[in-house]
Structure 1
């Protein structure tokens, strides 16, 4: 009997070891490994490394163990919320920043939004902004699964993204991801951290079947998937908990000077926001000069003097100056360019005019973006208009600016679909929204209702069919 026990013990031990390896294979976690000196991220079809599902929140925690991707998928959708129109499902804090507990300690949170196919721009944005970022991603259909996969790559390969960015998602309620696509999208795939993030995005997109990619592409071409810009801005902004909030786009980058020459501009911006001149002004909106910059063959300008040198060589121009000059018209940037001040401080007060679209930083509590505007046109300027009606004053900042990195734009680059969206949104503004705001604030101090009487020329300016009058 003792002899039988001695013989069976090694067999039992071997059996237990095999069971352990078997379970380890089932619950295999994505890993970061080194191969030929290169960092690799493996996205597994079964689990998400170091993730813990708490309601709709996925918290990065090395000690939290592994959670089934199917469970994450179901729990995330279970805690989603419909927007006001009942058209879109929004998912909050699906992925939380590693240093999220420091958000309230930072004076400024930046809220940005993006479609899935533009997420490759996130590393560049975060490289110029070291503070909290609230990111809303529009990811219809199976793009939601792709976006989660790409987010894992970005977090593994760019530590600043993992540390700073809280991720939120939205998609049409009638165009959700297919649970059966999880195995296809999430099957083991090695993503190389040394590979360009644009190339990696293409690789992730290729995880979908050609049929699924064609379906999404066809819906976009048929305008069945218009981009809900204002919904995305509100989704990102409502999760900014800092005292100050701003809402640029993902391709509007802060200047990045050489730290050996001067302190980072973002540090000087934070210092300004904590100064008495900023904190004592409850209803002040501080506006950033905004320029389009040719950047493919050049580094981005890191100071006002460099920006003006770029502009002199036609490597930079005022944002939308050739597309729709009222966009930045009220900022009077020709005047700003004549000032030599490099410190972050107020340059002058801006006289707000309708159709201006200032990118500004203000304390929490400014009016929300009206989510009835879908697609392009009248999305940001209508929020700025209501902010002005609500009693805010706009002040242009010296010593800092934003670089828009889509290159130098012209009206010929605006496609017909975008002009059609702008036309539809403009008609809604003049016929409905402007009247609502005039009644809500008992004011039409910017004579917006008179735009209907002026009518045709203003309408055609928005459509881009006539050249707008130059404003300086």
Structure 2
């Protein structure tokens, strides 16, 4: 006799009754089995789905070196590198190199974006790298006792920022002849606890033992021109730009759009500089394109970079704002600059071979203007780009007067340039206001 899945060879009344009773209980056991199988399947499915994200998003330091390993690496780094021209600093090249750095550097029309920062600004690197339309070369000044902290911070950025891990290279500038090992880094047993759920600012504050805000005033920083030169000289692309770390490229400016434009200018661009208008966000969200930028400007949500009217007029931003918005996001020339003044300190893209920044200047203002003036003496042409600009969350303004830098420019550097090129395009040598006028106490 066959009952369900059971076979009874000699059915007796008692046996059949028992079998029937057991057979009636079987569906309950089967339901329980199915229920636990379902729970197990769901748990396994969740493990498959969320385990990779847990490993990537909340990755700690399973693959990160220990603090002792970072100290050993710091010691090895100090045995490498080279001195700068003054002999006061050591330059440690390619302390970190992104996985796609070499490939991005071999693209003929791609732009390498160089920037320069100090240790207290290191958390601004990820958004800058995210916005950059190509490889990024970061010149990082590291105070005398922060070398290990800087290495730990780079490990965090490598683990938690994909674009940094792929696109960036970092080069250290450290004071020569000092003790570099940071004795204030919190001791940990085993690997470093790098948790990507924390922001870069929180991690920087933690690894510097709460001394982040003191770093700015703790060390005499290298000259602005030197920091910019270190960033640029490690760019391997033919096209390069030196950009402040708090200025971001628009979301719509992809690497391909800028590369396509530069490819069309390759033959006639040996003495060309393509200017990027610069703005600062006052309130609201960062504009995504030129149309949003102009709308934000009319609403007072953005303003031109700089704190004086001369800097605003120098870049002809009013003309750029009146220039008709292009029908597409294609990068093109809006107009050519024909007139310049002393406040002209633009951000621009140019080919390898442009003049270096003079390393005698302590601040960016004179380092940038003196480079531009030498470019004018070499017959460079400046073109303002449409659909390409920079916008930052803040405008970094130095609290140090320009008196010493102006003195260097007027008393020595300007005469050197005029003697070398036998030109003075803006007749600056004749203007006494450079020494005694309003510009003497300008803050930039």
Which region of structure 1 is more displaced relative to structure 2, 180-189 or 122-131? 180-189
Match for 2:168 among 165, 170, 181?
165
CA RMSD of aligned residues (A): 2.8
Aligned partners of 2:75, 2:82: CA distance in 1, in Å? 14
- Identify the match of residue 294 of structure 1 among 279, 282, 287: 282
Residue 372 (str. 1) matches residue 360 (str. 2): yes
- Give the counterpart of 2:385 among 383, 386, 397: 397
Counterpart in the other structure of 1:237: 232
Residue number in structure 2 paired with 1:45: 66
Matched with 1:345 is 332
Structure 1 position 419, deviation (Å)? 2.7
Partner of 2:272: 284
Alignment of 1:127-166 (within 5 A): 127-166=130-169
Q: Which runs of 5+ in 2 are unaligned?
A: 1-51
| Counterpart Cα distance in 2 of 1:252 and 1:359 | 10
Separation in structure 2 between the aligned mates of residue 94 and residue 186 of structure 1, nearest angstrom: 25
Residue 104 (1) aligns with residue 106 (2): yes
Q: Deviations over 1:388-408 (max 9, x none)?
A: 11221111111111012216x
Q: Find the aligned partners of 2:290 and 2:53 in 1 and give their Cα distance.
A: 42
Q: Secondary structure at the match of 1:378?
A: helix
Q: How far does residue 375 in structure 1 lie from its aligned partner after superposition?
A: 3.8
Q: 1:267 to 1:461 in 2, by over 3 A?
A: farther
| Alignment match, 2:116 | 113
Give the distance between the partners of 1:436 and 1:40, measured in 2 at CA: 55
Partner of 1:123: 126
* d(CA) in 2 for partners of 1:179, 1:318: 40
Match of 1:425 among 385, 390, 405: 405
Contact 1:252 1:404 in 2 (8 A): yes
Query: In 1, Cα distance between the equivalents of 2:204 and 2:80?
Result: 27
The residue aligned with 2:180 is 177
SS at match of 1:189: coil
Q: Report 1:220-231 matches (<5 A).
A: 221=217, 225-231=220-226
| Contact 1:80–1:89 (8 Å) recurs in 2 | yes
Gap change, CA 1:430 and 1:205, over 3 Å in 2: same
CA distance in 2 between counterparts of 1:196 and 1:281 reads 41
Where does 1:212-223 land on structure 2 (aligned, <5 Å)?
213=211, 217=214, 221=217
Q: State the shift of 1:178 in Å.
A: 2.5
Partner of 2:298: 312
Question: Is 1:246 aligned to 2:227, yes or no?
Answer: no
Query: Aligned partners of 1:299 and 1:463: how far apart in 2?
Result: 28
Q: CA deviation at 1:159?
A: 1.3
1:229-287 residue CA offsets vs partner (Å, 9 max, x unmatched): 21111111001111100001111100013xxxxxx444211110111x45322100000
In the alignment, is the contact (CA less than 8 A) between 1:233 and 1:247 conserved in 2? yes
Q: Assess if the C-alpha contact under 8 Å between 2:67 and 2:187 holds in 1.
A: no
Q: TM-score, normalised by structure 2?
A: 0.79
- Mapped to 1, the partners of 2:57 and 2:140 lie a distance apart of 33
CA gap of 1:180–1:453, structure 2 versus 1, over 3 A, is: closer
**SS in structure 2 at match of 1:387:** helix
| Alpha-carbon distance in structure 2 between the residues aligned to 1:180 and 1:389 | 50
The structure whose Rg is larger is 2
Cα distance in 1 for partners of 2:167, 2:286 equals 22
Partner of 1:267: 256
The one-character-per-residue Cα deviations of 1:134-191 (angstroms, maximum 9, x if unpaired) are 1110111122221111011001101110111111010221444127678859974312
Q: What count of residue pairs does the alignment treat as equivalent?
A: 386
Residues 134 and 368 of structure 1: CA distance in aligned 2, closer, same or farther (over 3 Å) = same
Seen in structure 2, the aligned counterparts of structure 1 residues 91 and 325 have a Cα distance that, compared at 3 Å, is farther
Residue in structure 2 matched with residue 354 of structure 1 by the alignment: 342
Contact 1:136 1:235 in 2 (8 A): yes
Q: After alignment, is 226-235 or 163-172 more displaced?
A: 226-235
Q: Is there any run of 5+ residues in structure 1 with no aligned partner, and where?
A: 1-31, 48-67, 258-263, 465-472
Q: 1:140 to 1:33 in 2, by over 3 A?
A: farther
* CA distance in 2 between partners of 1:404 and 1:369 (Å): 23
